[in-house]
Structure 1
Amino acid sequence: MDNPNQQGYPLAPATGPRSDEESVTNYRSEQAMKKKKRMKCLAYIAIFAVLQAIIIVVFSVVFLRVKTPKVRLEQVTIANTGNDNIVSFSAGVTVKNTNYGRYKFDSSLATITSQNGVVLGWLAIPEARAGARSTKRILVAGNLTPPAADSNGNLSVSIGANVRGKVELLRIMKRKKSADMFCTMIINLPTNSVKNLVCK
């Protein structure tokens, strides 16, 4: 028979978390993970937006910025025509285009003037195109009527022109750009030579 004084051992308390506490913990953990993923996603989006903005700015500054082409005179030669009042004049005109789009310019006239501002003649510059980041070379020719030279036969002249055109960007955008040419030189009439050619 059982001892009436024998006492039963009490049940040990549950040591593991209750099911509702476990659910709350799991829920919080899942929410934290989701929040962390959202923060990462937002960070990636922000980084992508910043990179896109940088790319657009660099593209605009480098490729869409329009610079004024440079027009210069080179390889000038003169010759007597047999008429003492007329001198044949020829030269190369260079149009340097540093833009990332081609430069299409209209025809223009370069004016040859003496040191005193008297017009001696003209040079016709035909319309043409200078490719992207390239230099267009054109041969021009004309006649000038020289005034009296100094005792050494030297004649100081200047040649100026305004070239107007458009820079085409990406085949869809066109920006108007005018380029000025101003060159000075000394012509020696007895020897048909040119020296001190300077262009600005």
Structure 2
Amino acid sequence: MAAEKEATSPPAPPANGYTRSDQESAVAADPAELKRNKRMRCLLYVVVFAVFQVVVITVFALTVMKIKTPKYRVRSASLSEFEVGSVTSPSFNLVMDVQFGVKNTNFGHFKYEDGIVEFDYRGTKIGQTDVYEARARARSTKKVDASLYLSSNELKGNSQLASDISSGIIPVTSTSRLEGKIHLMKVIKKKRSAQMNCTMEIVLATQSVQNIVCK
């Protein structure tokens, strides 16, 4: 009887306490199923990697590769010489010290050619200065200092000047254009034209330049 009980006793459970189901045992025993699961995992990894690459390329194209036109502005201005006539004899002779700025927000540098900044009084040219070729580094502002002479010699017969001197404010505009190229990764070169269009006021009471506004 003891031998019969020993022969019919159930098998001992696994040491880790986990018993495989029939389905798991079948999968483990089927090499084709194992290969199929392995291929599915590999395919999943490939899809995830491809999606990641698309995201990286999209971000790169929308940020690094997106080329913007540099901004060209008057940053500051002051008067080192000041001579203004009266209402009955309207005239002015001024020396303006000005700082221009070429702001380049691209990830490549902006190399520009020589340019001229023209200063006007109500549509009539009263002075100009040169801006020489240079380079605005990537994501930085190139500062350019200059001094120029502003004169009313070309305004004879302009009745508006007497009125402006009487009001104490002489309006001035500055315009310019810089032709150049954006250089990306030493391979890509894109032409860009930075334009300046600024207005400012010469305040006679304080002999200063105020309200500089650039579009």
Deviation at 1:78, TM superposition (A): 2.2
The structural deviation recorded for 1:189 is: 4.7
Deviation of residue 162 (structure 1)?
1.3
Q: Is the 8 A contact 1:108 1:125 kept in 2?
A: yes
1:68-105 Cα shifts (integer Å, max 9, x gaps): 11111122122437796532222000111111111111
- C-alpha contact (below 8 Å) 1:79/1:192 kept by paired residues: no
Structure 1 segment 115-154 matched on structure 2, within 5 A = 115=122, 117-146=123-152, 147=155, 148-149=161-162, 150=164, 151-154=166-169
Q: Distance in 2 between matches of 1:120 and 1:28?
A: 94
Q: Distance in 1 between matches of 2:27 and 2:208?
A: 95
Tell me the CA shift for residue 108 of structure 1: 0.7
SS in structure 1 opposite 2:30? helix
Higher helix fraction: Structure 1 or Structure 2?
2
Aligned residues: 175
Question: What is aligned with 1:54?
Answer: 55
Aligned-pair Cα RMSD in Å: 2.4
Alpha-carbon displacement from aligned partner over 1:104-135 (angstroms, at most 9, x marks no partner): 111111111112x1111112111111111111
> Which segment is superposed worse, 136-145 or 148-157?
148-157
Q: Aligned equivalents of 2:130 and 2:27: distance in 1?
A: 86
1:181 aligned to 196, 199, 202, which one? 196
State the alpha-carbon separation in 2 of the partners of residues 179 and 26 from structure 1.
68
Residue type at the aligned position of 1:95: V
Q: Which residue of 2 aligns with 1:73?
A: 74
Cα distance in structure 2, aligned partners of 1:97 and 1:167: 9
The match for 2:102 is 95
Residue 152 of structure 1: CA displacement?
Answer: 3.6
Identical residues among aligned pairs (%): 36
Find out whether 1:171 has 2:171 as its counterpart.
no
Q: How has the CA–CA distance of structure 1 residues 195 and 81 changed in structure 2, closer, same or farther, with 3 Å as cutoff?
A: closer
Name the CA shift for 1:26/1:159 in 2 (closer, same or farther; >3 Å): closer
* Unpaired segments ≥5 residues, structure 1: 1-24
Indicate the residue corresponding to 2:9 in structure 1. none
1:37-52 alignment to 2 at 5 Å?
37-52=38-53
The separation in 2 between residues aligned to 1:184 and 1:38, in whole angstroms, is 68
* Deviation of the 1:193 alpha carbon: 1.6
CA separation of 1:98/1:26 partners in 2, compared to 1, >3 Å: closer, same or farther?
closer
2:210 maps to which residue?
A: 195
Give the counterpart letter for 2:144 in structure 1. I
1:124–1:141 Cα contact (<8 Å) kept:
no
Would you say 1:158 and 2:173 are equivalent positions?
Answer: yes
Please report how far the alpha carbon of residue 190 of structure 1 lies from its aligned counterpart in structure 2 after TM superposition: 6.6
The alpha-carbon deviation at position 191 of structure 1 amounts to 4.9
